């Protein structure tokens, strides 16, 4: 094992004790959902019946353990297999070959808007809706009080961009679009913010 193993850790999934949500480095996998095929180290655990389910989320892999096993006992084995599998991104074959990278970004955006950043907007009486994802650009619609407030818009764009980047580094920009405006407004592509934190 010459290549360093990617850093991972496991988190609990509320309500599903047999499931562990393994947080993996953002950008290590470019697909979401249940893969058609996984690399050999993980596939072996599926074949052996230790694992019963593998599902990819943005910057995370959901693994479900067979009923007879416990994470306390099998955690180290599964971790090793997952880390080995992550060093082979090509081995993860998505179920349908539409545009897995775009779907990954869309899933990341949805997760962000449903999470803390979305909650922040809602706490200010507004809301954020995902409109479209294309070529690394995420179009977001500002609704409620956020709409029409340029400062709020700019702040939100930055926040959303930072949050999405932490799940999918391939994102290049977040644009806020008006519900009636054409999605490709003039000069609408924002430059990268000067400061961003990973």
For other proteins, the binding residues (CB under 8 A) are 4-12, 17, 20, 23-25, 71-72, 75-76, 78-80, 83, 166, 197-198
Closest distance of CB 111 from other proteins, Å: 14
Q: Rounded to whole angstroms, how far apart are CA atoms 92 and 70?
A: 25
Closest distance of CB 90 from other proteins, Å: 21
Closest distance of CB 143 from other proteins, Å: 27
Q: Rounded to whole angstroms, how far apart are CA atoms 66 and 47?
A: 11
Would you say 71 or 120 has its CB closer to other proteins?
71
- Of 13, 20, 8, the closest CA to residue 45 belongs to 20
Distance of CA 37 to the CA centre of its chain: 19
Q: Rounded to whole angstroms, how far apart are CA atoms 6 and 94?
A: 21
Would you say 23 or 152 has its CB closer to other proteins?
23
Strands, E, within the chain: which ranges? 9-12, 19-23, 51-57, 60-65, 126-134, 137-144, 173-177
Angle value at C-alpha 37, between 78 and 163, nearest 5 degrees:
70
Would you say 78 or 177 has its CB closer to other proteins?
78
Would you say 73 or 186 has its CB closer to other proteins?
73
Closest distance of CB 95 from other proteins, Å: 26
Closest distance of CB 127 from other proteins, Å: 22
Would you say 9 or 37 has its CB closer to other proteins?
9
Q: How many CB atoms lie within 10 A of CB 193?
A: 13
């Amino acid at each position: 094992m010459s290549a360093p193993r990617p850093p991972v850790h496991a988190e609990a999934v509320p309500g599903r004790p047999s499931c562990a949500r393994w947080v993996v480095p953002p950008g290590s996998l470019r697909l979401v959902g249940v893969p058609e095929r996984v690399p050999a180290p993980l596939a072996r655990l599926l074949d052996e019946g230790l694992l019963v389910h593998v599902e990819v989320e943005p910057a995370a892999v959901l693994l479900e353990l067979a009923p007879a096993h416990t994470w306390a006992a099998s955690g180290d084995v599964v971790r090793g297999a997952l880390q080995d599998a992550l060093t082979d991104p090509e081995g993860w074959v998505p179920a349908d070959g539409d545009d897995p990278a775009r779907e990954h970004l869309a899933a990341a955006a949805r997760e962000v808007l449903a999470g803390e950043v979305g909650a922040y907007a809602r706490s200010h009486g507004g809301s954020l809706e995902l409109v479209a994802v294309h070529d690394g650009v995420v179009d977001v619609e500002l609704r409620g009080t956020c709409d029409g407030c340029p400062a709020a818009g700019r702040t939100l764009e930055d926040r959303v961009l930072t949050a999405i980047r932490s799940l999918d580094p391939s994102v290049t920009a977040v644009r806020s679009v008006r519900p009636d405006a054409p999605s490709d407004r003039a000069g609408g592509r924002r430059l990268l913010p000067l400061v961003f934190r990973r």
